[in-house]
Amino acid sequence: MTFFKLKSTILLLVAATLSVFGQKGIEDGSKFGQGEDSIRCIRNLSIYREFVKHNNYGEAVKPWKVVFNECPAASKNIYIDGAKIYSWRIQKEDNPEVQNQLVDTLMLLYDKRIKYYGDKGYVLARKGIDLLRYRRDNLSDIKEGYDYLSEAIKIEKSKSPAAAFATQMTASITLFKYNEISAEQVVEDFATAMNYIDQDLLRNPNDRTMNNVKDVIEQNFAASGAATCENLVALFLPQFEATPNDPDLLKKITNFLQETGCEDDSLYVQASENLYELEPSASSAYNLAKLFLKKEEYEKAAEYYLQVIAGTEEGLEKAKYYYELALVTNKLGEPVKAREYALNAIENNPGYGDPYILIGNLYVTASNSCGSNDFEKKAVFWAAIDKYIKAKNIDPGVAATANELINRYSQYFPNNEDAFFYGFTDGKPYTVGCWINERTTVRTSK
């Protein structure tokens, strides 16, 4: 062997020997590295984990950095523990510049975790949640966090963490308010979140956290401004057409349309009636009665009021429903029935003045038709005034209205001459004819 060949062989042996003494995991792709570097990695991994177990995050930082920088594939715990360490440091840090750097490291930590351990959807969810937790004042950061969460939910679907749905919808609504995304995009985000949340709750119906998140998302969406009638109908109509007798869907549709003032839409009417057919109740019947009253469909309103009354116990509530039915019946041009319902209201609540006001008004309206001569027609006002007086005597809350009506219609009483001509004087009893058929007292205008 020549001298030069011998020298080359010796140099190669020395190099090989030196490589045994150290090589970092980040350099050779191994978990711990080689030689002394592997010992250094394992030692620091053990040290920092012990500190983390005792929540001593300050002491854990230095050995954790060694592991993170030199042997990043050593353990998934590097990233689980690292998130704890850096969240603690971010919350503890007062200097905004340093805090910002720490957030950058936390984001890098999540990227490295995806690189070495995958689970992209879950990790992106954690990344988006933490970015929006620590940087919520900048629209570009909100958009970045929103994008992470949107991608995470697309991957994880119904297995996404509850916090991912809540945070993504908060970001979606915020971006909409600053004209960064459209109302239609917010509606799409909401529909996606609700679909996956409902799937999760089918598996875990008693998941309190997910149920709470669902309630909060629905409340925030309803108040977002993106939930216009047009957008809501576009969202719910296909679902309604697919399953028109799903009670949960019908409740969701009616609640959302009601909260956003969309009761005039035909979808609300259809969903409400379908829900009533499936789950009849006094409360749902009352909602339908008010709905048709608002739409001036008085016959249908009256039908539902009767359903409400049939399902309501005696007392103040029933009195209220009878009174409202009396108003509707009057709209239908049926004063006799209207009076009957008003009297039913009084029967259930003897201190209720409004029904007496209504009966008085019914009599005033009838004054042009009840009677064969002018005296008999004017005598109707005596019966009307009696009702107004009764109303204010039993119910101080209507006294002002009653007094105004008394003053207005007293001027229509017959005068002395007319009363005398027909054989009546003040204070004498008198029976008003027609359907009114009320006993009253003669009073003349002076």
pLDDT of residue 136: 85
Total count of residues recorded for the chain: 446
For residue 2, pLDDT over 70 is answered with no
Bridge partners of 430, per DSSP, are 440
DSSP 439: E
56-59: long-range pairs with CB below 8 Å, 24+? 57/84, 57/85, 57/88, 57/89
C-alpha torsion 66→68→69→74, nearest 10: 100
**Contacts by residues 239-247 (CB-CB < 8 Å, ≥ 24 positions apart):** 240/267, 240/270, 240/271, 244/270, 244/274, 245/274, 245/278, 247/275, 247/278, 247/279
Q: Which residues of 325-364 are buried (b: 16+ CB within 10 A; e: fewer)?
A: bbbbbbeeebbebbbebbebbbebbeebbbbbbbbbbbbb
**Total Cβ atoms within 10 A of residue 243:** 11
List pLDDT tens digits, range 289-318: 988 998 899 999 999 999 999 988 888 999
Nearest to 331 by CA among 344, 341, 316: 341
How many CB atoms are located within 10 Å of the residue 239 CB?
16
Model pLDDT for residues 66-114, shown as the tens digit of each residue? 889 888 888 899 999 999 999 999 999 999 999 999 999 999 999 999 9
This prediction has a pTM of 0.59
Task: Inform me whether the pLDDT recorded for 223 exceeds 70.
Answer: yes
> Over 90: is that where the pLDDT of 255 sits?
no
237 has a pLDDT exceeding 80 = yes
Residue ranges per structural domain of the chain: 229-276, 280-335, 353-446
Could you report the per-residue pLDDT of 394-419, keeping only the tens digit for each? 999 999 999 999 999 999 998 888 88
Cβ proximity of 47 and 61 under 8 Å: no
How many other C-beta atoms are found inside a 10 Å radius of the C-beta of residue 403?
14
Closest CA to 301 of 313, 311, 291: 291
Q: Which of 21, 127, 115 is nearest to 73 (CA)?
A: 115
